[in-house]
Structure 1
Amino acid sequence: MQEDDDFSLFAEEVQGIRPLKKTEVYLGKKQGSVDFTERQKAALIAKVEDRNHLTKDYVERVDPNDMLEYKKDGVQDGVFKRLRQGKYPIDSRLDLHRRTVEQARRDVFQFVEDCMRHDIRVGVIVHGKGDRTPDPQDQATIKSFINKWLRDLDDVMAFHSAQRHHGGLGAVYVLFKKSEKARLENWERHQKR
């Protein structure tokens, strides 16, 4: 009988094995020497990812030669004009060439957070035109996502395609919200007049 043979084979294999007591736990290492650093790193990465609300799903496509422009209500026309003309000093730069959508998504989110933390007012994001991709449906992928993501970030007040010497249609100037510290300094400067 096949069933009896299987049972005897199993009995031979497990001979000498004893069940663990309920208080025993096997960790693969000596008990008490558990390394939690990898778990902590993963938890921190997950925490940052949770805050990153930028979509990686479908976005409305832009053409590689489209000009990107956006300004929130409250941004003065003169400020937007100076941004568009590249007349503000660029304090920070992010290059997204050869990045996947997911990498770009993380980098853009972190870039904006870093700019806000360091009181940076204007930065440039180089996304490329995306016109060298052979499949026309895959062209300007990162550029299309940049157009969507920057609109979805509260700390971005405006953006516009850059002047040729800063990357042209393959880059955007980004105007960030003033930090509380910068607003207070600006207010104090104007009060002294």
Structure 2
Amino acid sequence: MRRLQGEAEATPTTPRPEPVPRQFERDEAAVREELLSGDFDPGSIEQGDEIHYLKPGQPAAMLKRLRRGQYSIRSEIDLHQMTEAVARSAVTLFLNEAIRQREYCVRIVHGKGLRSASRGPVLKRMTERLLRQRGDVLAFASALPAQGGTGAVLVLLQGH
């Protein structure tokens, strides 16, 4: 930078005030207000949580191997865009058909429930309840990140 002739170097006589993060303060206030005034479901905080289950009497190593992705996935279903009732029926039919076809390791993509707002992960919870109720489910666990992470579940089925 070049100075003009006769220009003196200006030095401030008083220090500048510290900047005030007003936008940050407004954002924080808006979040507090939204949490206090809106329909808030604590379950929605747990959207990223892993789910898993091992049928009583089954070896712990089975669940460990499933969680590590060591079983070959034979079939899958994606529940995105389905209502809870339609998804429940689709999962039931899918599992019955998988057993009939002898496909004992399957993936159910239920999503993370990010568009369910305060209701939380509706399809994920429905899938978990349904799987726990079925006698032919040996184990299930959230998928590895490359397989859908907490938006999908791997299921081991018992053959007949």
TM-score > 0.5, shorter chain as reference? yes
SS in 2 for 1:115: helix
- Does 2:52 align with 1:69? yes
- 1:162 aligns with 143
In the other structure, the counterpart of 1:104 is 87
Q: Is the 8 A contact 2:113 2:123 kept in 1?
A: yes
Q: How many residues align?
A: 117
TM-fit CA distance, 1:154:
1.2
Q: Could you tell me which amino acid in structure 1 is paired with residue 144 of structure 2? A: Q
Structure 1: gaps of 5 or more residues: 1-60, 180-193
Displacement of 1:65: 1.1
Gaps of 5+ in 2: 1-42
Q: d(CA) in 2 for partners of 1:104 and 1:148?
A: 13
Amino acid at match of 2:69: G
Q: 2:152 aligns with which of 135, 150, 171?
A: 171
Structure 2 counterpart of 1:173, which letter? L
TM-score using structure 2 length: 0.70
Structure 1 position 152 matched with structure 2 position 110 = no
**Aligned match for 1:140, one of 115, 121, 132:** 121
Is residue 158–residue 174 contact of structure 1 (8 Å, CA) maintained in 2?
yes
8 Å Cα contact 1:130/1:141 also seen in 2? yes
Q: Contact conserved, 1:112 with 1:155, CA < 8 A, in 2?
A: no
Displaced runs of 4+ in structure 1, greater than 4 A?
A: none
Amino acid at match of 2:152: A
Is the contact between residue 157 and residue 175 of structure 1 (CA under 8 Å) also seen in structure 2?
yes
Q: Which amino acid aligns with 1:116?
A: I
- Larger RCO, structures 1/2 (Cα 8 Å, 6+ apart): 2
Q: Over aligned residues, Cα RMSD in angstroms?
A: 1.3
Q: 2:78 aligns with which of 95, 112, 133?
A: 95
SS of the aligned residue for 2:65 comes to helix
Identity of aligned residues (%): 38
Say if 1:88 and 1:122, in contact at 8 Å, map to a contact too.
yes
Measure how far apart 1:178 and its partner are: 2.5
Which of 61, 83, 99 is 1:116 aligned to? 99
Q: What's the counterpart of residue 29 of structure 1?
A: none
Counterpart residue type for residue 72 of structure 1: K
